[in-house]
Chains A and B, each alone.
Chain A
Amino acid sequence: MDLFLPIASYWQTVLAPELAKLAQPIHGWWYTIVPPGQLLVNLPAVVVVGLLVGLLTGFFGVAGGFLLTPWLNLCFAVPYNVAVGTDLTQMVGTATMARVRQGGEGYVDYTLGLLLFGGSVIGVELGARILELLKYSGGIPAGSGRLSWLQLVMSCIYGLLLLWIGALVFREARMSLRQPGPALAAAMGTPGANRLRTLHLPPFISLPVSGVESISLWVVLGVGFLSGLLTGLLGVSGSFVRMPALIYVLGVPTVVSIGTNLFELLLTSLYGTLTHSLKGNVELSLVIILLITGMVGAQVGAALQRRLAHPLGQLFFACLFFLTIILMVLRLFW
């Protein structure tokens, strides 16, 4: 049972014009490119990938989403710009769900959230425009065909990001195996974070809800910009930058950080969706399928986590990151 992806097909033929002149269909892992360059993906495989990413996110709490964009590219030949836009758009759904569920329970510093969003807008837009630049910058000869700059640059960026996260997960799993018990993220409160907090660069603002007496506005905007850049360029939530920055750099209490992060993420993902959809990077059918399957998978993952949590699971998770990197490298050359 195949699903036609009109947006991915459009960009396939822009990135690789030779696909528009295909004589024979090309068969990949779970996709087929039929003349004149139409991309058909295997629907059950999309459902399985969505469930798996959701399951990993529900089981490990974070980082499952990092795998979605490269997996869409690896398994279904979805161009990176579409994979990023699609991943970001389905985040509107997860952020809405999380925000509604949080409801009145969470503490949100709306002033801080809006200031962060101010920085994020610039970051998201810059990230999306870098993708635009890569989309139209052609490619280089590679083997018998041509490798687009978009594929090459995004594979390198994602490869490095997955390597870093995989190494972090691997290190935490190894520490847990040696010394059972909750791992402390003490290393996050580094002197660098303290230096940023006391940066003397006017104007200064106070955030009474967060209990922050005085902080440079540029630090807040900078945190928003950096996480927004990651969102716009890679389609990830940016929470792995924003949450530690809120707690360790800005000194916001954890309970307020969680609520503010969610509020900011909802706004950022909405803006990201707007700009990426205007640029034609969102595959709507994939958004709907991945969002629904991801939510179901996350529930199953969270239920399994309560019964099966073990450091060996984290080692397996780290191996998934490393395996993805190897496959990405192989795909570049074969």
Chain B
Amino acid sequence: MSSLSTWLATISATVGAPGQPFQASWSYVATALLAPALIGLAAALIIMALEKIMGVRLGGGGI
């Protein structure tokens, strides 16, 4: 947990010079795009597996 948050903090730093507007690193942008998609995918697979095992339709898909 601690090393994850340290890594996230490291890639979240601006790569621009001090005083310049924020410049994102490619790893920060890629993580922002990929991390939620992967978590969403994993959650969907877990819920679908639970639905299959328990034979019920789970809710919670609202956005």
Contacts and interface: CB of A to CB of B under 8 A. Distances in A.
A299 B58 contact: yes
A283 B12 CA distance: 8
A288 B37 contact: no
A280 B22 contact: yes
A284 B22 contact: no
Interface in A22-62: 54, 57-58, 60-62
Contact of B40 (A62, A93, A237, A283): A93
Q: Which residue, of A64, A265, A282, A306, has the highest number of chain B Cβ atoms within 10 A?
A: A282
B46 to A, nearest CB: 9
A291 B47 CA distance: 15
A237 B62 CA distance: 11
A97 B47 contact: yes
Chain A interface helix/strand/loop/mixed: helix
Interface in B28-63: 28-29, 31-33, 35-37, 39-41, 43-45, 47-48, 58-63
A7 B12 contact: yes
A89 B30 CA distance: 12
Given A6-B13, A288-B35, A291-B39, A98 B29 contact: no
B62 A90 contact: no
A164 B35 CA distance: 33
A3 interface: yes
B5 interface: yes
A324 interface: no
A57 to B, nearest CB: 5
A301 B60 contact: yes
Nearest to A305: B59
B59 A302 contact: yes
A57 B62 contact: yes
B5 A58 contact: no
A94 B44 CA distance: 9
Interface string A249-276: 0000000000000100100001001101
Contacts of B62: 57-58, 60-62, 64, 298, 302
A285 B14 contact: no
Given A284-B8, A284-B32, A287-B32, A303 B59 contact: yes
B9 interface: yes
Nearest to A58: B60
A92 interface: yes
Nearest to A64: B62
Nearest to B7: A284
Contacts of A184: none
A278 B23 CA distance: 7
A60 B63 CA distance: 11
A96 interface: yes
Q: Which residue, of B28, B31, B35, has the highest number of chain A Cβ atoms within 10 A?
A: B35
A234 to B, nearest CB: 14
Interface of A: 3-4, 6-7, 10, 54, 57-58, 60-62, 64-65, 89-98, 100-102, 237, 239, 262, 265, 270, 273-274, 276-280, 282-285, 287-288, 291-292, 295, 298-299, 301-303, 305-306
Interface of B: 4-5, 8-9, 11-14, 22-24, 28-29, 31-33, 35-37, 39-41, 43-45, 47-48, 58-63
Given A96-B36, A291-B40, 18 more contacts: A62-B62, A64-B62, A93-B36, A96-B37, A101-B44, A274-B29, A277-B28, A277-B32, A278-B29, A280-B23, A282-B32, A284-B28, A284-B35, A287-B35, A291-B36, A292-B43, A299-B58, A299-B60
